[in-house]
Amino acid sequence: MTTRRAGRDNSVAPSTIEWAVSNASIDYPDAVRSMQERAARIADGSVAEVVWLLEHPPVYTAGTSARDAELLEQSRFPVHRTGRGGRLTYHGPGQRIVYVMLDLKRHGGDVRAFVGRLERWVIAALAEMGVAGETRSDRVGVWVRRPDKGVDVEDKIAAIGLRVTRWVSLHGLSLNVDPDLSHYSGIVPCGIAGHGVTSLADLGAGHSMEVVDNALRRHFEQLFGPTRDAPEPSAAHEAIIAQ
């Protein structure tokens, strides 16, 4: 990842970040369309930044670095090519998807540092829930040690994949709360062989999605600033506002 720093833009005034939660499962293409609409308006300065929490029906998504050989079962779930960074991953019920649409000019303007803050955010929330998450210099995301499986065994609990357009971030992270982990067997997750995938439930730290959301919000605000409740950013809603 190439690190860039945005120039200072004093015309952009800070504002409270919106916090939206979708209770119904959202199809992946619909979510991407809504996210793109919202990010474009954030870049224009016409709407607030937003963090959007949701779940998807079972789907594999392929980032810009994905390789065909990493899709092991092509007919298992729909596969969507997407503009985020990273490789193949799985999304599905029991996984908290967090789409982070933030103006990076307001958050340091350094893409690599921004990814590091996302990792620290997840690690802090996990710690509140009794799980010790860690980062690795050669692997993006959040990992947990698994001494119950053997010496030096690590599993991934949260994946991070971003796209930055006009200095606004799209996509974000996925945190495994209680998904069906067997669905990861259809891919090489994030292109990393030799490591497993885990969840809060798998680690014996079962929590409701509401508990997870509350922990995420508390620690997000400590790192990024205050939030306010807001409706989910649907494409239809964005179109109405734009009229």
Q: Is residue 190 flagged as an active site residue?
A: yes
Predicted local confidence at residue 66, as pLDDT: 76
Catalytic: which of 26, 98, 101, 190? 190
Strand partners, 64: none
Does the pLDDT value for residue 239 go beyond 80? Answer: no
> CA 59 → CA 55, 62, 80, 146, 189, distances in Å?
11, 10, 8, 27, 13
- Tell me: the pLDDT tens digits for 6-63? 443 433 334 799 999 999 999 999 999 999 999 999 999 999 999 999 999 999 998 8
Predicted local confidence at residue 191, as pLDDT: 64
Q: Residue 94: name the closest of 208, 182, 188 by CA.
A: 208
Place of tokens 């971030």: 169
* pLDDT greater at residue 85 or residue 218: 218
Strand partners, 129: none
Domain 17-119+160-197+225-242 sits in CATH at 3.30.930.10
Does the pLDDT value for residue 238 go beyond 60? Answer: no
Average pLDDT over all residues of the chain: 87
Tell if the pTM clears 0.85, that is, is over it: yes
* Helix (H) or strand (E) segment spanning residue 101: strand 95-101
- How distant is the alpha carbon of residue 91 from its chain centre? 11
Helices (H) and strands (E) in the chain, counts: 4, 12
Strand partners, 79: 60
Which residue ranges make up each domain of the chain?
17-119+160-197+225-242
How far is the C-alpha of 198 from the C-alpha of 189, rounded, in Å?
A: 12
